[in-house]
Amino acid sequence: MAGDPNAEARQSIENAKDLVVDSLAETMDLYGITRSAGTLYGTMYFEGDMTLDEMREELGMSKPSMSTGVKKLQEFNVVKKTFRRGQRKHTYVAERDFFRFFSNFFSHKWEREVHLNLESIREAQQQVNEVLNDEAIDEDVKKEAEEMHQILEDSKPYYYWLNRLAAMVRSGEIFDVIPFEKPNSERDT
């Protein structure tokens, strides 16, 4: 047993890193990001900017996997392409500021939720309105349409609210109303 202490120490550090990468990936899994994309993010989080080949090496996966993984993470705005001078290969960097991660990720999702549902509500209400305006329809059917219309109408305030929340989160205004304790070091824009 007991080989080189430095080698063991490095192993410990790698181990600690894996521990956090795993829980990061599990966290992201909660929000619908696949585990492998989460693991990729976690790895990039610790390594700083990486090329696809470095990712492949680190994770032991294929290059196309890395390519699609990075692309997916870019969609969520949590990974960006970077320029590393004197480097032919493209490099990518993970968003290291979790506050910004949160902002990018959730504002994006919430905006999409609002848009998607308000649009379908608009269409749906239009359809039931046609029923309501039709003379030839019986009262009981109209009542059904009326109820439907009302349920949809009642849900709108939620989407308006969510839209405001998304805007506040995207702009960073949310940190005015719910401040965070600064760490000892800086936090730039």
User: Which residues lie near DNA (CB under 7 A)?
Assistant: 34-37, 51-53, 60-65, 67-71, 88-90
Residue 74 or 129: the one with the smaller Cβ distance to DNA is 74
Q: What is the DSSP string of 11-49?
A: HHHHHHHHHHHHHHHHHHHHTT--HHHHHHHHHHHHH-S
CB of 112 to a second copy, least distance (A): 6
CA 85 – CA 129 distance, rounded (Å): 61
CA-closest candidate to residue 93, choices 58, 47, 35, 60: 47
- Residue 181: name its binding partner from DNA, a second copy, none (Cβ under 5 to 8 Å by kind): a second copy
CB of 143 to a second copy, least distance (A): 11
CA dihedral 153, 154, 156, 161 (to 10 degrees): 160
What does the DSSP 8-state code read for residue 62?
A: -
CA 25 – CA 37 distance, rounded (Å): 8
CB of 68 to DNA, least distance (A): 6
Contacting residues toward a second copy, per CB under 8 A: 5-6, 9-10, 12-13, 15-17, 19-20, 22-24, 26-27, 29-32, 46, 98-99, 102, 109, 112-113, 116-117, 119-121, 123-125, 127-128, 130-131, 134, 136-138, 141-142, 144-145, 148, 151-162, 164-165, 168, 177-178, 180-183, 185
SS3 content of the chain, % helix, strand, coil (to 5): 70, 5, 25
- Residue 104: name its binding partner from a second copy, DNA, none (Cβ under 5 to 8 Å by kind): none
Residue 35 or 115: the one with the smaller Cβ distance to DNA is 35
CB of 54 to DNA, least distance (A): 9
